[in-house]
């Protein structure tokens, strides 16, 4: 796990803490599963977690002082009619409530966006990054807008199993298609 030291202002004093991103491996996949169970009202399948193990830099766990407190999981999708472009779907990005507003979600999202922009020597380039957010989750919508995502669609009944069924589709275009 790579680690960086970050300083933040606590209400009364400055506190130093360590933040590190870790790869998802078979050895820590259970941690990710437990996190997702707490963070999201969706039960993810074993095939979801199998795919997570295969996306490399597009799935990470974040540690705060060596405690696993969040993660991000993405999947690559082929762009119809193109062999040189893919889209990247952020399936999950979350941080446990006591650790929010410390820059951890931003660190996860920045990592994904930076890696999505890197040139790929062995495969398609990432054309856009997108995700869905429940329409009542204004905090999440504003978070993603801060990083250049735009609401491009309202998807009615996207979450049929939830009280708030509608979602916004947000996306950030990295490469314009011709």
CA distance 69 to 54: 21
Residue 7: CA count within 13 A, CB half-sphere: 2
Which of 65-83 are b and which e, b meaning 16 or more Cβ less than 10 Å from the residue's Cβ? Answer: eeebbbbbbbbbeebeeee
Active site residue 111: no
Nearest to 28 by CA among 4, 62, 2, 3: 62
Nearest to 68 by CA among 38, 90, 45: 38
Rg (CA), the chain: 17
Active site residue 63: no
The active-site residue, picked from 89, 111, 147, 159, is 89
The active-site residue, picked from 44, 49, 111, 132, is 132
Token representation of residue 100 = 């929010």
- Catalytic annotation, residues: 89, 132
């Amino acid at each position: 796990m790579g680690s960086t030291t970050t300083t933040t202002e606590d209400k009364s004093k400055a506190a130093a803490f360590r933040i590190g991103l870790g790869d998802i491996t078979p050895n820590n996949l259970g941690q990710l599963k437990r996190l997702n169970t707490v963070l999201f009202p969706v039960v993810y399948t074993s095939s979801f977690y199998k795919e997570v193990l295969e996306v490399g830099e597009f799935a990470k766990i974040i540690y705060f002082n060596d405690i696993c407190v969040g993660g991000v999981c993405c999947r690559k999708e082929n762009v119809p009619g193109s062999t040189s472009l893919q889209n990247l779907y952020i399936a999950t990005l979350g941080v446990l409530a006591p650790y929010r507003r410390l820059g951890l979600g931003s660190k996860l999202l920045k990592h994904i966006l930076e890696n999505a922009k890197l040139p790929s020597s062995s495969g398609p380039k990432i054309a856009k990054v997108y995700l869905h957010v429940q329409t009542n989750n204004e905090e999440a919508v504003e978070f993603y807008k801060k990083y250049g995502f735009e609401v491009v669609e309202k998807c009615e009944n996207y979450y049929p199993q939830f009280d708030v069924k509608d979602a916004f589709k947000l996306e950030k275009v990295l490469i314009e298609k011709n």
